[in-house]
Homo-oligomer: A and B are copies of this chain.
Amino acid sequence: MNTNGELIGVGVGPGDPELLTVKAVRALQSADVVAHFCKDGNASHARATAAQFFRPGLLELPLPYPLTTETPTADPAYRSTIQEFFDAAADTVAGHLAAGRTVAVLSEGDPLFYGSYMHLHIRLMKRFPTRVIPGVTGMSGCWSAAGLPITQGDDVLTVLPGTLDEAELVRRFRQSDPSVVMKVGRNLSKVRRALIAADRLGDAIYVERGTTPQERFMPLADKDDDSAPYFAIILVAGRWCKP
């Protein structure tokens, strides 16, 4: 008899607690353990979004990342540290699952779209029952907040991490119609230069903390500094729908 608990990746959406799905709320209310990745010393955004749905007595399992600054993912030392961290996190979660406890892992946005949950999923999916509850992505939250129709008809959408190098960003902006830049943060000045080089700055909208009370958005051309939170997003409108 299999008495293992279930591993559930739970997308909590872009930030507004009301943008959790009905299914995500139910999963949180029946989970034995709720795990969330966080930076050491900082509360997890996903936890802040979902906490109002936690039941009393829930066991919380914070999983603090070993590094607090962004490092190039091509760096072998970084890769090794982060792989060891995910191995250890998977072992901890596996202990709860083997004891028969259901573990819900919170993910900002959607779990399998740039989410850390996937690193637990691929390590545990062969040993335990797993289920993924999709969530509203951060980018959907941002284009909805800005009221910008991002794609229609035959549009091709390109989703770009702001961590790409500048020449690659320029090339992508030149050949893309609508696009979205994720993980803007400290990459904002580079992304701005690439948009200017590709002659697309006028199509770009900057959005930070979309769907939360701190939401702000503006044409990127009107933003007069290059400071941005990590989860800020830039939307580049398609040519048929200038902002």
Contacts and interface: CB of A to CB of B under 8 A. Distances in A.
Interface residues of A, number: 57
A143 B21 contact: no
B156 A159 contact: yes
B158 A164 contact: no
A174 interface: no
A105 interface: no
B144 A133 contact: yes
A217 interface: no
A139 B89 CA distance: 28
A150 B122 CA distance: 12
Interface string A143-167: 1110111111111111111011000
A58 B136 CA distance: 27
Contacts of A25: 22
Contact of A141 (B134, B153, B155): B134
A132 B110 CA distance: 19
Interface in A169-225: 172, 211
A140 interface: yes
Interface of A: 9, 11, 13-14, 16-23, 25-26, 73, 110-115, 118, 121-122, 125, 130, 132-137, 140-141, 143-145, 147-161, 163-164, 172, 211, 241
Given A154-B161, A159-B159, 8 more contacts: A16-B23, A18-B23, A19-B23, A20-B21, A110-B136, A137-B137, A156-B158, A156-B161
